[in-house]
Structure 1
Amino acid sequence: MNHEFPCGTRVLDFVATLRARREEQPYEFLADAGSLDSWWVESGVRTSGRVTDDADLVAAIELREALYTVFWHRLNGASIPEGALAVVNARAQDPPVSPALTARGVVRDGDPTACLADLAREAIEIVGGEEGALLRECSRPECTTIYLDRSRGHRREWCSMQSCGNRAKAAAYRARVRSARILAT
């Protein structure tokens, strides 16, 4: 696998293809059209369809940034900018990916435009529905990943325990050990 899926929701995992947004050099997972193609398949958005080209990549990044803006503003209780809403709503109007049941299982066929339409629709359902209240941003300062906190008690702190959660816990442990050494001397 070339991509990570820490959020448990396809559209938020798509938004998380740009990590550490507030850092001087954020990490871009969609460096080229081929990486976007692999994201479509690995995420399960589609299993087949037209190969992604550079124009599709530009459209995907435009939608991703509009989605981030929409989610961030909803998360922070701020008014969502009209420009971001227009991009998301326009993409949601495109035809979706077509699922089909075959002898091998479900096949999801769609071009990149259909994939983006599915993601835009998913975002609209989250932000416009009850799940919008579950949006959280990872507590690790370097991480800017937004996720849905579906945990019991709604106390989830990190986008992923495997990445940010482990790093935060390891750093806290090292700090406690260092502190204990200083006190012991």
Structure 2
Amino acid sequence: MTERFRAGAGRLCLDFIRTLRYRGTPSELEELPDAAAWGAWIDQLGPFSTPVHPASADDARAVREAVHELLTTSARPSTRRRLNQFAALPVPAPSLTPSGELRWQASDPASAMLSLLARDALDLVTSPEFARVRRCAGPECGALFLDTSRPGTRRWCSMEICGNQAKKSTYRAKAGAS
């Protein structure tokens, strides 16, 4: 099954801000245009075992932009306040089913997911890992990712996509110059 949303950036909050794909380019694409898309993102990347049906995606997009600002610039006081407010919301609670499976529950799963995302962003920006947040070198990408490579020199958010495209471009340029 092909996943609808990209994952693998190294932190949940980094995967979340990638829902504005190709940020800042002419190809920019909003992946959370409505509540159904936000619910699909939660279903794919969140902890809940049953589908989530949020009423709106407005708060999700607002939190996403606040997280992006926090990670890429000197966040304004209003941005910090917004993230602190969402981080203070209740988070999902674990429970053990009679069959021994772990399930996550929340009275409002969409708000609980926003709380998890805000908390993850606040944790990241105050951790040593923050020094390893990189912007993808792909000219059309620009996604942020956590560089977990030993030397800390990873250039692309995904070797399979952006890295492969860069290598193909380099090869074509060399082949054309010959």
Task: Tell whether the structures are fold-level matches, with TM greater than 0.5.
Answer: yes
With normalisation by structure 1, the TM-score equals 0.87
Cα distance between partner residues in 2 of 1:60 and 1:164 = 26
| The 10-residue stretch of structure 1 (25-34 or 132-141) with the greater mean CA deviation from structure 2 | 25-34
Cα distance between partner residues in 2 of 1:105 and 1:160 = 33
Structure 1's 179 and 114: CA in aligned 2 closer, same or farther, altered over 3 A?
same
| The 10-residue stretch of structure 1 (39-48 or 168-177) with the greater mean CA deviation from structure 2 | 39-48
- How many residue pairs get aligned? The number is 173
Indicate yes or no: 2:13 matched with 1:11: yes
Indicate yes or no: 2:105 matched with 1:109: yes
Cα distance between partner residues in 1 of 2:127 and 2:152 = 17
Q: How big is the alpha-carbon RMSD for the aligned residues of Structure 1 and Structure 2?
A: 1.6
Aligned twin of 1:76: none
Indicate yes or no: 2:32 matched with 1:30: yes
Aligned twin of 1:144: 142
Q: What 5-or-longer segments of structure 1 have no aligned partner?
A: 74-78, 181-185
The answer to whether the 8 Å contact 1:66/1:87 transfers is: yes
Amino acid at match of 1:21: R
**Per residue, is there more helix in 1 or in 2?**
1
The answer to whether the 8 Å contact 1:71/1:127 transfers is: yes
Question: 1:89 pairs with 84, 90, 99, which one?
Answer: 84
Per-residue CA deviations over 1:112-155 (Å, capped at 9, x if unaligned) read: 00000011111111101111111111111221211111111001
Cα distance between partner residues in 2 of 1:37 and 1:50 = 5
| The 10-residue stretch of structure 1 (143-152 or 2-11) with the greater mean CA deviation from structure 2 | 2-11
Structure 1's 168 and 70: CA in aligned 2 closer, same or farther, altered over 3 A?
same
Give aligned-pair identity as a percent.
Answer: 32
